[in-house]
Amino acid sequence: MVKTAEELMDEPDFIEADAPIEEVEKEFEGSENTLIVRRDDELIGEIHENALLKLLIPEERLDEEKVIGIIGFSFDQSYVAEKAEDLASRHEVTVPKDEELGEIAFLMDREDIRSLPVEEDGEVVGVVHENRLMEEI
C-alpha cells in the first residue's frame, strides 16, 4: 500500500515571520529540522536548520556572488538575517493530506526543497520531511 502525506507527516513547528533570530535558534532546540514561517496564519515559507549556518560565516569570507547574485540584482538576506522571515525559503508548493508518497518525492525534487507543508482546508496541518521519505526506501 502506498503511503500518503497524512501517514508521513509530523506536527508542524510554527514561527512568526517577525520573530528575532534568537527565537528561531531557540525553536530549533525542540523541533524536527524545519520551522514553518507564517504571518497572520499565512504561509510565508520554511526555515531549515542548515539556514542558520550562513549566520556563522565571517563577513570577510562571504562570497559576493552568493550574497548579491551574479548580476548584482538580488540580495540574499539570510546572510545578515535579523528575523525569521529573512531566513525563510519561499515556495508556493503544499500538498493535501491524501497526496501519495511518489508525488511528494517528485515535488520535493522539482522544487529542490527538504520538506513540504501539508494543508487541509487552507491551513497547514503537518509537514513531510525528506528523512521520512528516506525511511520508505
CATH of the domain at 87: 3.10.580.10
Contacts of 33 (CB under 8 A, 6+ apart): 48, 49, 114, 115, 129, 131
**Domains contained in the chain, number:** 1
Tell me: the pLDDT tens digits for 83-133?
999 889 887 899 999 999 999 999 999 998 889 999 999 899 999 999 999
Tell me: the pLDDT tens digits for 46-84?
998 888 887 777 777 666 555 554 455 555 566 678 899
3-state DSSP call for residue 20? Answer: strand
- pTM of the predicted model as reported, rounded to 2 decimal places: 0.78
Cβ atoms of 34 and 127 closer than 8 Å = yes
